[in-house]
A and B are shown apart, each in its own frame.
Chain A
Amino acid sequence: MTQGGAAAPLIEAAGLRKVHAPRGQGAPTEAVAGIDFRVRRGEAFGFLGPNGAGKSTTMRMIAAVSPVSGGTLRVLGMDPAVQGAEIRARLGSVPQDDTLDTELTVRENLLVYGRYFGLPRAVVRERALRLLEFARLEDKADEQVEALSGGMRRRLTIARSLVNEPEILLLDEPTTGLDPQARHLLWERLFRLKQQGVTLLLTTHYMDEAEQLCDRIVVMDQGRIVAEGSPAELITRHCTREVLELRFAADEQAGHAQRLVAAGERVEALPDRLLVYADDGESALAAVHATGAQPLTALVRRAGLEDVFLILTGRTLVD
């Protein structure tokens, strides 16, 4: 059975803050401005947010490599400030920037990293074989990392994070830089880890990734959590069922946007298109035509997490 029972959250943050000391002169930045969340064992938990939202900073605090500036944080029931090493021993961590040793071979990177956990040499050697297969890098095992493509390095970093058979896996933008096939393969692998009981925490800019992998998501913006829930919940709570995307000639868009708002539609203006939120996209399109507007293109689609994000923060996720 799970240790500590299902009631005790695996990760718990209350009023969690992080203030980065200023570089040179300048004001200190509050990267995380008081957030609360709980992650249960076996859950897949996602942090969504634009650049600079504080996702990586939060991940680093959970990974016990960045001291918290305020509030409380408990990971596996322990305080990172006191039992950082014990926490790190049971975590796997995929940082946003790869920290592979480019002068060593692929296999050596796994061996060295495994040794950092104090694992016996023979154990590490045997796990390295499995992880090479996991990352589909068997052919590259004895090549220097220098010679790997960015996506291969990413796969190696992810494989490396599993060398200590972690209970929690922290993935900071795991699939950035991967080709679509590698992404889908990784999702499948992560899904399998989740089924084996590994708790997943991930940050991402990709909505499909969040929808595919995460049971629960928090949307972060400027160091705060602005929404929380399952992907489906977030969409029903904050968004309409459908979205109508309209493109106009560049100079006409602003005028049309005003007219549509006046006609009682929920409209978000992006640089290249207007989004009209409606439970029935087709009737919304009819209403648009009724105002006399002649869009160049009109497309009705289901609402997704990006729409939730746009509505909550007024900004797009991928910029």
Chain B
Amino acid sequence: MTTALPTTAGGPPAVPSPGDRAPRPAAGPLDSLVAAVPALREFGYWMRRYRRVWRGSVVISVVNPLLFLTALGAGLGKLVDAHHSGHLAGTPYLHFLAPGLLAASAMQNGFVEGAFPVFQSARARGNYPAAAATPMRPGDILAGHLLFVAFRILLSGALFLAVVAAFGVVGPLRALLTAGPVLLTGLAFAAPLMAWAVTVDRQSRLNGLYRFLVMPLYMFSGTFFPIGQLPSWARPIAECSPLYQGVALTRGTALGTVHPGAATVHIVYLLVLVAAGTVCACRGYTRRLHR
């Protein structure tokens, strides 16, 4: 016959249990942490999903920069360097390009991780409504997912940096320092995107934004060439782009050329984007999940 376990609150038992009453297993320290910080439960969910695909994602994160840096940095770079380009202030093109690409890939990761999974999860049959039916608050769900996005940006960035270091562009210490700007750049895109994606009802809008926002930013934010090369009217526009701020900070940190004053401006700019995005996202999540 079946018996039932009593609930903790002394309320009525609910789940039928087979056979003898099993002793309640002890909770570990990780369990206590997860019980105290609900956001970690959502983070755990995304990690569980990531466990299925991590190998492929790691390979891509290594192969991608390898190809780009070989073709553009080492290949195209030889041509550029042969012309003694004064615009790079004596920096070899590979050294100029690598941190730029790194920041741009952080943006891309921020977009890919912040837009599509959020859109999928927010749909009627998605993960968010499932989580919202439990004690999780919309803010917990957001925080946990944002934590996972940060993890993905950092992991991809670290692998990218390892490749950059292998090319001899940065030493291990500079590589470690550069992880901060990479994370900040990625989150400056991810947080506002999450705020927006949770309100979106059609996937085509995400694709549209990628084509019309991310691609132009990628090209014209000082990633491949200094923005000094742009026509004078376009320069201030490029300087306002969040990717330019991220590229400047990442490059300055990686090459050790950043001025403290300029770095502060970049950091504040990016932090404001992260903070504003997170606040808007928190409202958007609540409106979407509790309606």
B26 contacts across to A, CB distance below 8 A:
120, 122
Total contacts A to B, CB within 8 angstroms? 139
A131 contacts across to B, CB distance below 8 A:
15
Shortest CB-to-CB span from B43 to chain A, Å, is: 10
A3 contacts across to B, CB distance below 8 A:
10-11
Q: Which 9 A-B pairs have the closest CB atoms?
A: A197-B12, A122-B25, A120-B27, A116-B134, A99-B130, A120-B31, A165-B14, A118-B35, A89-B135
> What number of B residues sit within 8 Å (CB to CB) of A?
49
Chain B residue, CB-CB nearest to A131: B15
Contact between B22 and A126 (Cβ–Cβ < 8 Å)? yes
Indicate if A127 sits at the interface (CB-CB under 8 A): yes
A3-B10, A97-B125, A130-B18 known; A66+B291 contact, CB < 8 A: yes
Indicate if A53 sits at the interface (CB-CB under 8 A): no
Chain A residue, CB-CB nearest to B129: A99
Contact between A196 and B135 (Cβ–Cβ < 8 Å)? no
In whole angstroms, how far apart are the Cα atoms of A99 and B123 in the complex? 9
Shortest CB-to-CB span from B122 to chain A, Å, is: 11
Contact between B27 and A122 (Cβ–Cβ < 8 Å)? yes
In whole angstroms, how far apart are the Cα atoms of A99 and B132 in the complex? 11
Contact between A112 and B48 (Cβ–Cβ < 8 Å)? yes
Indicate if A166 sits at the interface (CB-CB under 8 A): yes
Contact between B135 and A85 (Cβ–Cβ < 8 Å)? yes
B11 contacts across to A, CB distance below 8 A:
3, 90, 165, 167, 197
Question: A99-116: which have CB < 8 Å to B?
Answer: 99-101, 103-104, 108, 112-113, 115-116
Question: B1-48: which have CB < 8 Å to A?
Answer: 2, 4-5, 7-18, 22, 24-28, 30-31, 34-35, 38, 41-42, 44-45, 48
Contact residue among B7, B124, B131, B137 (Cβ-Cβ distance under 8 Å from A97) = B124
Indicate if B256 sits at the interface (CB-CB under 8 A): no
A103-B49, A162-B14 known; A90+B9 contact, CB < 8 A: yes
A118-B41, A123-B25, A134-B16 known; A65+B31 contact, CB < 8 A: no
Chain B residue, CB-CB nearest to A96: B124
